[in-house]
A and B are shown apart, each in its own frame.
Chain A
Amino acid sequence: MASLKINGVEHQVDADPNMPLLWVLRDILQMTGTKFGCGKGLCGACTVHFNGTPMRSCSLPFAVAIGAEITTIEGLSATGEHPLQKAWIEHKVPQCGYCQSGQLMSAAGLLLTNPKPSDTDIQQAMMGNICRCGTYPRIEAAIKSVAGVGIYQPKAQPTTDTTPSQGGAK
């Protein structure tokens, strides 16, 4: 049994340490906001924050995440009011919406370290996230609209999840 801190909440997880964080989130903790796209870190759909840095959870053995602060789309803000989430709606960014969790996490990660990114900075930070629907122009516009607005720090909610995990590979 390992303890994972996700969105400020400790979760007890019983699974093979090699299982990628993505599948721990989705299949064991039933947090399905983080999406599966390729399993190889090529598309960015599964992006989460690992101590504030965007990482592809499909390629991250969950044991590596023990002791780290993991933030998923569900924890980007408590109320869905992160400036980027608001900008996404204002700019009517999504189409099918499937890749947008990953897009938002990559964009939020960028703004954490670079509050006023240039066009090139935005493209460099976002080129790892594929959108098949083609929402790139609006993603770019939405990021620019909040650039410099202020860095958003996800608030940790220090409670402990005591629900035993299910579906572990044992």
Chain B
Amino acid sequence: MAQLSKLSRRQFMQMTGLGTAGLALSACVKHDESATKPVPLTQTSATGKPAELNVFVHIGSNNRVTIMAHRSEMGQGIRTSLPQVVADELDADWDKVDILQAQGDKKYGDQNTDGSQSARQFYKVMRNMGGAAKLMLRQAAAAQWQVPLESCIAKDHRVTHAGTGKSLSYGELAEGAAKQPLPDVKTLQLKNPDEFKYIGKPVTMVDFTDIVRGSTHYGIDTILPDMVHASIERCPYYCGGIESFDDTKARAVPGVLQVIKIDGAKEIPGFTPLTGLAVIATNTWAALEGRKALVVKWDKGAHGAHDSRATIAALVKAPIVDAKDIRVRGDIEQALKTAAKTHEAVYTTPYMEHATMEPPAATARFTGEACEIWACTQNPQGAIESVSQLLGIKPEQITVNVTLLGGAFGRKSKPDFIGEAAYLAKATGKPVRVTWSREDTIRMGYYHAFSVQHFKAALNKQQQIIGLDSRIVSPSIRSLNEPDGRYMQNWEIGQGFNTVPYDIPNVRVRNTPAPTDTRIGWLRSVYHQNHAFALNSFIDELARLNKKDSLEFQLAAIGADRPTGDGNNCDVARLKNVLRTVAQTSGWPAKVGASEGWGIATHFSFDSYVAVASKVRVDKTGLRILEVHLALDCGQMINPDRVHSQMEGSVIFALSSVLFGEITFKDGVVEQSSFDNYLLLRMNQSPKIVITLIPSDKKHTGVGEPGVCPVPASVANAIVAAGGPRIRELPLKNHLNIL
């Protein structure tokens, strides 16, 4: 709802901009060094209350401009990049801009920082916000000087009268500006791109100074007076429970104050806390020690025998039952029957966990009247909704302060851990911080869905693909909220399985049911990364089968320039362009040393185009990733440096996934627990990375997620090129020694 038209209904401008309830969030201080942690996000400046020009822009009489960051910062730079846009249209001096993290509030519109959406959804809104505020400042100057608006020029944090050279700072104009009528968005004259001062520039992230000094505030860093600490022993079985427990010894551990039972969902987990025993203590370590002393007999429920390897293996071989047609084009049966050649393959990808470096952590204070929360959340409004249901209080009684997020990748948009803190704050009557251990994080996740993907292709004599028969089996995220959510949702299959970029006349896409044995959640690029792995591996197999260069075969399969007709608006000219770009930067088909090879892959996701070429060495000692080239076309860029860093990070994130990423269940329980058995890529394993960002004046598209998608198949294809095996079951560590 972050639109000016809605704001006008609030009639902000009939207010003086001072002393109203609407100013609760309008602090214009960045950090009050003297304040006790956490930094109070609602503090009002000592230098006078700022004038609110719209929900995103405040200007203080001290000439400081405060821009609200309403999306969550998890490393993508959004606390910097969206304010960059506002500041540019406002013609503010970046050195006089303070960024204030917005609390969860519907007035900011969608705050769920997920789905690589921020620039796509809010670029225009931010420009309008900056542009509107600037117009109001100019109007205030025109009114004060009794001169025409056109003669009042805004530049570098001041408005100057063209005729006389008279000039006032934004701070001096702020109060007058707040009394101006809210402009109609349509009348705003926004800048031409050649006038941009901050948009498209590599502005340094506003949090860097605090980060390198260790003075940032993440969810795990909240400290409140009289706060107690909680560590929770949760039921390791999906939808299981507690049969019996003995907490006598736990309560005897020095520092432990009490043990509180939490009853979680028995059927569909949603985002509610899991069943468990919360050990409340004076510090985190005592709470962790207390947990070790608990004696619990779990009720294993219906999933106590879950064996994920067996589940996946069975789905590879299972006969096709209850298949649902997702898409049918042409006659696939006939195409397969009349083909000169057919080829089939099954690919599997495992469960994975987000493994954020900062585990989930939240702090809550409950007074009976109100619940105030501090959390590393991607979705503060979702947290309010969830806590409201859990505690039976109104959303208006709940405040959610968004801290920095020490990594998120989708995990921190699920508010189960925030519910835990709120529940325990109510139960203890004290401020409570819940800190997840690493083991909790790995073993109690919202797991990235496994997949089993079946492909069969029909090729004609000209070595063209005339038919593609594909079937996906993968647990759906809908299973979180639906007791029988065995089929995938259309958008899940639409993430690159139904929506292939190849020009193929006969296509059938089917979905067969998958069991639900754990909490399924979205993880960076979600189903796209599974589908991109299988499809790009399969196209490489087809190229090899036809003894063709993989790049040439892919380009031919993609076919003539056109938007694909699958409702996903993929412009294949842009897709081919990123492929050709990585081919160029990598020198494709480059000469390689012994046991070395290159692989290539591409994927369209979150409206962005990415191609990756990877070089590996496979020999007796194992697999080494040598080089990864990535080309991205994401339209215009607000902050090219942060786009670049997201791509570097995407490569490394995806390498962790393809090489090591695997969560397995045995007897209903996750087998991995920490970084010694859930491995992540380390610096000495990190390859040379070459990123190319395609310049573009097209609309902004996704950045946070698309980069990871083509990486796994590029590596799998490179292994074959290097003389290694075709690996269809991820992760690679189960097949090769990783160097």
Contacts and interface: CB of A to CB of B under 8 A. Distances in A.
Contact of A169 (B204, B208, B254, B648): B254
Contacts of B221: 26, 32
B683 A139 contact: yes
A132 B650 CA distance: 10
A35 B215 contact: no
- Interface of A, secondary structure class, is loop
B676 interface: yes
Interface stretch (B404-412, B449-457, B575-583): B404-412
B247 interface: no
A115 to B, nearest CB: 19
Contacts of A33: 213-215
Contact of A30 (B37, B255, B680): B37
Contacts of B355: 132
B674 A97 contact: no
Interface of A: 15-16, 19-20, 23, 26-28, 30, 32-40, 42-43, 45, 72-74, 76, 80, 85, 88-89, 92, 94-101, 104, 122-124, 126-140, 167-170
Contact of B648 (A27, A42, A134): A134
Interface in B655-678: 656, 674-676
Interface string B385-408: 000000000000000000011111
Contacts of A42: 674-676
A39 B407 contact: no
A83 to B, nearest CB: 11
B516 interface: no
B211 interface: yes
A97 B223 contact: no
Given A92-B204, A130-B682, 7 more contacts: A36-B435, A43-B438, A96-B406, A124-B684, A131-B357, A132-B407, A134-B650
Contacts of B209: 80, 89
B254 to A, nearest CB: 4
B684 A132 contact: no
- The 9 A-B pairs with the shortest beta carbon distances in the complex, nearest first, are A33-B214, A98-B406, A134-B652, A95-B75, A169-B255, A96-B75, A73-B214, A134-B649, A97-B211
Interface stretch (B125-133, B167-175, B282-290, B316-324): B282-290
Contacts of A126: 683-684
Contact of B75 (A32, A38, A85, A94): A94
Interface residues of B, number: 67
A32 B215 CA distance: 8
Contacts of B8: none
A40 B438 contact: yes
Contacts of B686: 134, 136-137
A94 B37 contact: no
A72 B213 CA distance: 10
A135 B649 contact: yes
A97 to B, nearest CB: 4
A103 to B, nearest CB: 9
Contacts of A99: 357, 406
B405 to A, nearest CB: 6
B205 interface: yes
A37 B212 contact: no
6 contacts: A26-B221, A30-B37, A85-B212, A98-B358, A127-B683, A169-B255
A40 B357 CA distance: 13
A43 B204 contact: no
A139 B212 CA distance: 12
A39 B213 contact: no
A45 B214 contact: no
B282 A169 contact: yes
